[in-house]
Amino acid sequence: MTGLTGKRIILGITGGIAAYKTAEWIRALRHEEAEVQVVQTEAAARFITPLTLAALSGRRVYGDIFSPEDAELIPHINLARHCDLLLIAPATANTIAKLAHGEADNLLTATALATRAPVLICPAMNSNMYLHPATQANLASLREYGCLIAPPAAGAMACGAEGPGRLPEWRKVREYIIAALTPQDLQGINILISAGPTYEDIDPVRFIGNRSSGKMGYALAGAARQRGAEVTLISGPSALPDPPAVTTVRVRSAREMAKFVQQKAPQARIIIKAAAVADYTPSAPSPHKIKKGAASLELKLTANEDILKSLGELKGEKPFPLLVGFAAESRDHLVQGLKKLKAKNLDLIVINDIGGSQSAFANDSNQVVIVNRQGKKTELPRLGKEETAHRILDQLLPLLPGP
Ligand code: CTP
C-alpha cells in the first residue's frame, strides 16, 4: 500500500512529443494500484494511440466530447466528479492557454473546468515556447486558480533545442502527485531529520560503519515534504538520491553529523533522529594506511557524543522542537525503547526490530511500535517505509504546539 493505492487519477494527455513517456507513467501508477483513466485530446492521439493507452490503463480511453456512445453519462461531468486528481501531461502551450482562459472546447479542457479535484499540470514544450511571456502569464493565472504546476526539466529536447521544457522524470512527478493528494497538514513547518549510518575512519582506507541504508530517514523526509513541511535532511553515507525539494546535507562521521544537527536545530519545530549514529569512534585514526604484520591489533575507541541526548538535555521551559528518536533493538524492544524515551527526554520514540531476516535495516518495509511521552503506544503493521513514515508523522501532529 502506498499513497497512490486506490486513487482515481485522470491522465489528460495533450499533443506533444513527450506524450509517449506517459505510457510508462500509467504502468507505474497501476503498479501502485491507482486507477488510471486516460482522456486524450485529438492532437495527442496523433502521438500515441488510444489502443496503447487502453491496453496499459485497462480502461477505454476518452477523447471525443461529442461521442454518441455514452452521451447520456455527460462524460466531462462524470469524469470530473469521479476523480481524486486530474493530471495533465504533457501539457502543451496551447492547452495551457485554453485552461488559463477557461476554454472548454474539448473533453479534457471541459473536464478540467468541471472538476473540484486537484489539477496537476506538467508543461512540456520547446523552451522558447515555455519561456514566452504569454505561456508564463498563463501558468501564473493557473497557479492563481489553484492548479499545481510541476516545472519542466531542463536538457536536450526532441526538437534539438536545449533548456527548460522536458517532461520531468517519473520520480519527480510522483512526488507532485502524492503532494497533491496529501493534506498539507505540515505546511511551512521546519523539520530536521537525520538519516543513514555514520562512518568512523580508522585510517584512509578503513572505517567502522553499520548496516543502515538511510531508507527510513529518507522516507520521512519525503513524506514530510509531501505534506508541505520545509525539510532539512542530514544524511550519513547513503546510496539513495537526495529526496526532491528537500535540503540535503551529506556528512560522514558522527562528529560531522552532530555539528550540522546542532547548527540547524534552532530553526526546527520537529527534530527526527532516524540516523544510526556510531556510538564509538577510533581514538587515534591513522593518517596513513595501517600495514599488516602484527599478530594482533588493538583498536582504541572513544565514545561519541549522543546527539539526541544532548538535544534532550537542552529542553527547558521555553518552546523547544519536538524530539523524536529511533530505537534499533534486537531484543526486549519495548523495555529498551522506553528507557531511551526517558533517558533522552524525547516526545516520541519509534522502536524498530533489527534482528532476524525481517530486520528494519536496509529493508523496504518495517514494523514499528511508536510510543509517546504520555505512554500512548501505537503498534503499526508491517508497511512500506513511505507508509510507515506517514503514520509516524500522523502521531506527531497532535503533539505540535500551536505556532
Ligand atoms: N543517537 C544519537 N547519537 C548517538 C547515538 C544515538 O543521536 N551517538 C540517536 C539515534 O539517532 C536514535 C537514538 O539515539 O534516534 C537511539 O539510537 P540507538 O542506536 O537505538 O541507541 P543508542 O542510544 O545508541 O543505545 P544502544 O546502542 O546502547 O542501544
| pLDDT value, residue 69 | 77
Concatenated DSSP letters for 264-275? HGGG-SEEEE--
The pLDDT-based confidence of 64 (bands split at 50, 70, 90) is: confident
Alpha carbon distance 83, 88 (integer Å): 13
Residue 104 sits in the same domain as residue 168? yes
373, 347 Cβ separation under 8 angstroms: yes
Q: How many domains does the chain have?
A: 2
Q: Is the pLDDT of residue 341 over 90?
A: yes
For the Cβ of 323 lying below 6 angstroms from any atom of ligand 1, the answer is no
Domain that holds residue 119: 8-181
Alpha carbon distance 111, 150 (integer Å): 20
- Residue 1 placed within a domain: no
Q: What is the mean pLDDT of residues 333-348?
A: 95
Please give the helix or strand (H or E) that residue 116 lies within, else none.
none
Alpha carbon distance 331, 317 (integer Å): 35
Residue 282 sits in the same domain as residue 156? no
Grid look-up 479534457 returns: 108
Question: Alpha carbon of 60 to those of 24, 36, 113, 298, 361: distances in Å?
Answer: 17, 10, 22, 70, 43
| pLDDT value, residue 257 | 98
Concatenated DSSP letters for 293-334? -SS-----EEEPP-HHHHHHHH--SS---EEEEEEEESSSHH
| pLDDT value, residue 358 | 66
Alpha carbon distance 251, 275 (integer Å): 11
Q: Is the pLDDT of residue 76 over 90?
A: no
For the Cβ of 333 lying below 6 angstroms from any atom of ligand 1, the answer is no
Residue 65 sits in the same domain as residue 27? yes
> 201: which DSSP letter?
E
Q: Quick check: is 83 catalytic?
A: no
Residue 112 sits in the same domain as residue 213? no
| Domain CATH for 345 | 3.40.50.10300
When the pLDDT of each residue in the chain is averaged and rounded to a whole number, the result is: 93
Three-state DSSP at 45 gives: helix
- Residue 3 placed within a domain: no
Which residue of 277, 280, 310 sits with most ligand 1 atoms within 8 Å of its CB, as the best mutation to test the pocket?
Answer: 277
Q: Is the pLDDT of residue 97 over 70?
A: yes
124, 90 Cβ separation under 8 angstroms: yes
Q: For strand 365-366 and strand 368-372, is the pairing parallel, antiparallel, or unpaired?
A: unpaired
C-alpha cell at 347: 516526545
Q: What is the mean pLDDT of residues 115-121?
A: 96
168: how many CB neighbours lie within 10 A of its CB? Answer: 21
- Residue 211 placed within a domain: yes
User: Among the ranges 60-64, 147-151, 160-164, 357-361, which has the highest mean pLDDT value?
Assistant: 147-151
Closest C-alpha residue for ligand 1 atom 28: 279
| pLDDT value, residue 67 | 79
Strand partners, 351: 327, 369
- Residue 98 placed within a domain: yes
| pLDDT value, residue 357 | 65
Which of 134, 154, 181 is where one domain is finished? 181
Buried b (16+ CB within 10 A) or exposed e, 229-262: bbbbbbbbbbebeebbebebbebbbbbbbbebbe
Residue 166 sits in the same domain as residue 229? no
Query: What is the whole-number distance in angstroms between the Cα of residue 247 and the centre of ligand 1?
Result: 23
Grid look-up 493507452 returns: 53
Q: Is the pLDDT of residue 362 over 80?
A: no
Alpha carbon distance 123, 131 (integer Å): 11
For the Cβ of 306 lying below 6 angstroms from any atom of ligand 1, the answer is yes
